[in-house]
Amino acid sequence: MSNLLLVMGRQGANINKNIRPGLPRQKIVEKASLLPFKLTDHLIDLYEYCDGVTDRPRLTANLIDDGRFMSLDEAVRHYRNLTFNAASASDDYQGTWFPLLYAESGECTVVECGDGTDRGQIISYDVEMGISVQYLSLESMFKTVTQYWIEGLYSLVDGFWQPSSDSIKFGRIGARMNPGADYWNYVS
């Protein structure tokens, strides 16, 4: 994540002022104890580094597309809402998905925290667009988005960061950096 923040800063997206300070590991474990699963080690490391991004009206407050990186408290509350709604509406939200990024459109980016081989994959959860593996891990998510900035797929326009309309280039980079992740079949 620190490399992504550095690259964004070089492009003029000063997101560092919106980063919440990280939490002590013990506090993270305590807050996560409300969940029916353990957070992945990478999620714990991430929340030690920073506890989400403050909610700001400008898109420069976001790290990944239009999704806002939630604080641990927000994410736990969001998890409870999603699992409650899924139980009452026969939705397909999985109980081992930890919400990480939330967009006003309703799309949620989650981290698979269940046991097995899919541990730590980043999944795009959107009721309208479907469910698909987007990134192979938190590490690949940050590396992929960093590459988007490096290759000019994001730019600042009047203080707002704007994505390029080149969905093919997004898809090619995403697929190259996340081989086998089915999300990139939709956008490329």
pLDDT by residue, tens only, the chain of 188 residues: 888 888 888 887 777 778 899 999 999 999 999 899 999 999 999 999 999 988 665 545 566 766 788 999 999 998 988 887 655 544 577 888 899 988 777 778 889 998 755 568 888 887 676 788 889 999 999 999 999 999 999 887 776 778 888 989 999 999 999 998 988 876 54
Longest CA pairwise span in the chain (Å): 46
| Conformation bin of residue 106: beta by default, left when phi > 0, alpha when psi is -120 to 50 | left
Angstrom distance (rounded) from CA 181 to CA 133? 5
Closest by Cα among 11, 39, 15 to 27: 39
Can you give the pLDDT at residue 133? 84
Predicted TM-score (pTM) of the model is 0.86
| Residues 6+ positions from 110 with CB-CB distance below 8 Å | 97, 98, 99, 100, 122, 123, 125
Answer whether 86's CB lies under 8 Å from 92's CB: yes
DSSP 8-state code for residue 22:
P
Can you give the pLDDT at residue 120? 84
